[in-house]
Amino acid sequence: METGLTVDDLSGFTGQLSTYYDDYVIEALEQGGDLFELATELATLPESGLALRLARRAVLAMAEALYEGQQYRSLRFSPFRTQTIGSYSYALAEQSVLAGVPTKIAWFDMAVRILGPAAVVSTSVHAFDRPGDEITIDEGRYLAGPADTEKHLYNRPYG
């Protein structure tokens, strides 16, 4: 998506001087726009008002995360690296955007939720399929923690 956003726009959004950014920032802005388009299915930014401001902030927040994740990957948390929980491994943002799972980039996630397609109805991830790995509370399903799983296995050792 061509957003028309510039380094100066990103600088105003982040509070960093424009000179802080190197050449990769242009690519980060383009990728932010593309990820926004993929997540929302919008081919262009909204025309005006709150929707436009929200979309711009979403693209800028994603561009900032892409830029910082690239430049300081070993020093700072990046939502774009692979993370492993137990035996379950996933790439936080790359797969999250396409699956409709929140990326933990607040402006981006809010814009996708508000401006994105209504067809995205769930952000759940099924990580485990053993009995006791998920619990039901008030008709909602939740991933159980180790204590919950051990309790289930002790009370019902065969599933």
Residue range 20-52, pLDDT digits in tens:
999 999 999 999 999 999 899 999 999 999 999
Read off the tokens for 126.
Answer: 């099924």
Tally Cβ neighbours within 10 Å of residue 32. Answer: 26
Instruction: Please check whether residue 120 lies inside any domain of the structure.
Output: no
- What distance in Å separates the CA atoms of residue 136 and residue 56, rounded to the nearest whole number? 38
- How much of the chain, in percent, has pLDDT values that exceed 90? 38
153 and 86 in one domain?
no
Comparing 76 with 108, which gets the higher pLDDT?
108
135 and 98 in one domain?
no
Domains identified in the chain, total number: 2
- What distance in Å separates the CA atoms of residue 2 and residue 30, rounded to the nearest whole number? 7
- What distance in Å separates the CA atoms of residue 13 and residue 124, rounded to the nearest whole number? 30
88 and 16 in one domain?
yes
pLDDT tens, position by position, 115-126: 887 644 444 444
Residue 16 gets the label, from left (phi > 0), alpha (psi -120 to 50) or beta, of beta
pLDDT band at 72 (very low <50, low <70, confident <90, very high): low
110 and 49 in one domain?
yes
Domain span at residue 133 reads 126-159
Q: Which pLDDT belongs to residue 92? A: 53
101 and 54 in one domain?
yes
| Residue in the block written with tokens 């383009």 | 30
Instruction: Please check whether residue 13 lies inside any domain of the structure.
Output: yes
38 and 63 in one domain?
yes
56 and 131 in one domain?
no
DSSP bridge partners of 89: 84
100 and 24 in one domain?
yes
81-94: average pLDDT: 52
134 and 106 in one domain?
no
Instruction: Please check whether residue 90 lies inside any domain of the structure.
Output: yes
Instruction: Please check whether residue 121 lies inside any domain of the structure.
Output: no
88 and 37 in one domain?
yes
77 and 107 in one domain?
yes
DSSP bridge partners of 135: 142
Instruction: Please check whether residue 1 lies inside any domain of the structure.
Output: no
31 and 95 in one domain?
yes
| Residue in the block written with tokens 């980039």 | 105
